[in-house]
Amino acid sequence: MSAVLAAAGLERTHPGTRPRPWARRERHRALRGVDLQLAPGERLGLVGRSGSGKSTLLRCLLALDVPDAGTVHCDGRPVRPGRAPGLRWFRRRVQYVPQDPASTLDPRMTVGALVAEPLRALAVPDDHRAAVATALRRVRLDPALTDRRPGELSGGQAQRVALARALAPAPEVLLADEPVSGLDLAVRRQVVELLGDLSAEGGLALLLVSHDLSVVSRLCPRTVVLDDGVVVEDRATGALLADPHHPATRALVAAVPRLPA
């Protein structure tokens, strides 16, 4: 089966710090020849310690950053940052769920306006009011919340609104960046189950970016481990947890917190 989203040979170097005043700025290689493939309907975990390159890879996959080398393809079409109208086809297929929805939901807008915003931006021709209600129901929120503002929501509700925003354009792929890291354990479990249900019900491909293997193991049959900009493991999640090969993977497994059963 061909990949719905694929990266091949991604390289990205960022300016680093100066070792001393007036010295040449050091360079940091954030990605070193990264390959990654996500099949239609697949749930894939991407894990790594802080500074491993996860955020840079995510930005390249979202066409928000230009790699120094390598390519990103969606449904076989090349993807590169550019003007918004030229990327509408891509944004309708690939949507993003941020780590901290409170920082991305405009406090002046209602829930209904927030969920409808990507529909307008991407020129989706459907009935937007109906699409908003459908998206809210999919994330198990009452459409009656459309007139509320983010400040009136709990953390779990805000994360579900962020999910509804991403789902409203009916994407094929969801890229979720640490989607439960700021939630308490009970709400975290609910959101993890919701992500799994959304993928199973709609055939949605999910790339779950996290440093927490306990969350990834509940959702993703396959996991990619990134360390120092290199893919060091790409295996079935159960096998990876049972027998981690790389030192970076062993450190992540050792740090796994246990979610309540």
Half-sphere exposure of 200 (CA within 13 A, CB side): 9
The pLDDT of residue 258: 58
Does residue 259 sit within a domain? no
Domain tally, the chain: 1
- Quote the domain boundaries for residue 187: 5-18+26-254
Does residue 40 sit within a domain? yes
Please say whether the beta carbons of 191 and 159 come within 8 A: yes
The pLDDT of residue 212: 82
Does residue 210 sit within a domain? yes
Element (DSSP H or E) covering residue 8: strand 5-15
Does residue 48 sit within a domain? yes
Does residue 121 sit within a domain? yes
Nearest to 27 by CA among 43, 5, 12, 45: 12
Does residue 101 sit within a domain? yes
Nearest to 213 by CA among 187, 235, 194, 184: 235
Does residue 150 sit within a domain? yes
Per-residue pLDDT of the chain (261 residues; tens, 9 = 90+): 589 999 999 999 987 666 667 666 667 788 999 999 999 999 999 999 888 999 999 999 999 999 999 999 999 999 998 888 889 999 999 999 888 776 778 889 999 999 999 999 998 987 899 999 999 999 999 999 999 998 898 888 888 999 999 999 999 999 998 877 767 677 778 888 888 888 888 789 999 998 888 889 889 999 999 999 999 999 999 999 999 999 999 999 988 765 554
Q: Which pTM does this prediction carry?
A: 0.89
* Cα 248 from chain centroid (whole Å): 21
The pLDDT of residue 127: 86
What is the β-pairing status of strands 222-227 and 205-210?
unpaired
Q: How far apart are CA 159 and CA 138, in angstroms?
A: 13
Please say whether the beta carbons of 35 and 224 come within 8 A: no
The pLDDT of residue 178: 84
Nearest to 69 by CA among 14, 13, 26: 13
Q: How far apart are CA 174 and CA 6, in angstroms?
A: 13
Interior CA angle at 50 toward 45 and 54, to 5°? 45
**CATH code of the domain covering residue 44:** 3.40.50.300
Does residue 261 sit within a domain? no
Interior CA angle at 201 toward 199 and 202, to 5°? 70
